[in-house]
Structure 1
Amino acid sequence: METSSQPRIELGILNEEELKSVAKRFASCLSDGDILILSGEIGSGKTTFVRGLVTGLGCSEHIVTSPTFTLMNVYSCIKTVYHIDAYRLNNLEEIFYVLEGEIEEKDGIFVIEWGELVKEFFLEDFITIIFEHVDEGHRKVSITADSGRLELIRRCMHIG
Structure 2
Amino acid sequence: METGCESCFELGILTEKELKSFARTFSQCLAEGDVIILSGEIGSGKTTFVRGLVTGLGCSEEIVTSPTFTLMNVYACSKTVYHLDAYRLNGIEDVFYVLEGEIEDRNGVFVIEWGNLIDSYFIEDVITVFFEHEDEKHRKVRLRVPSKRVSRFRRCLNFGEYKEQ
Structure 2 portions without partners, runs of 5+: 161-165
> Separation in 2 of the partners of 1:124 and 1:132?
22
Partner of 1:101: 101
Partner of 2:137: 137
> Separation in 1 of the partners of 2:60 and 2:32?
20
Equivalences for residues 1-160 of structure 1 within 5 A: 2-6=1-5, 7-123=7-123, 125-160=125-160
Structure 1 length as normaliser, TM-score? Answer: 0.93
Offset of residue 118 of structure 1: 0.3
Q: Considering only aligned residues, what root-mean-square deviation do their CA atoms show, in Å?
A: 1.4
Offset of residue 96 of structure 1: 1.4
Asked if structure 2 preserves the Cα contact closer than 8 Å seen for 1:13 and 1:139, the reply is yes
> Separation in 2 of the partners of 1:104 and 1:15?
36
Q: AA paired with 2:141?
A: V
Offset of residue 91 of structure 1: 4.7
Give the total of aligned pairs: 159
Compare 67-76 and 84-93 and name the one that shifted more. Answer: 84-93
Structure 2 length as normaliser, TM-score? Answer: 0.91
Q: AA paired with 2:111?
A: V
Asked if structure 2 preserves the Cα contact closer than 8 Å seen for 1:8 and 1:150, the reply is no
The percentage of counterpart residues that share the same residue type is: 65
Offset of residue 152 of structure 1: 1.8
Cα offsets for 1:134-156 (capped at 9, x unmatched): 11000011111223422321210
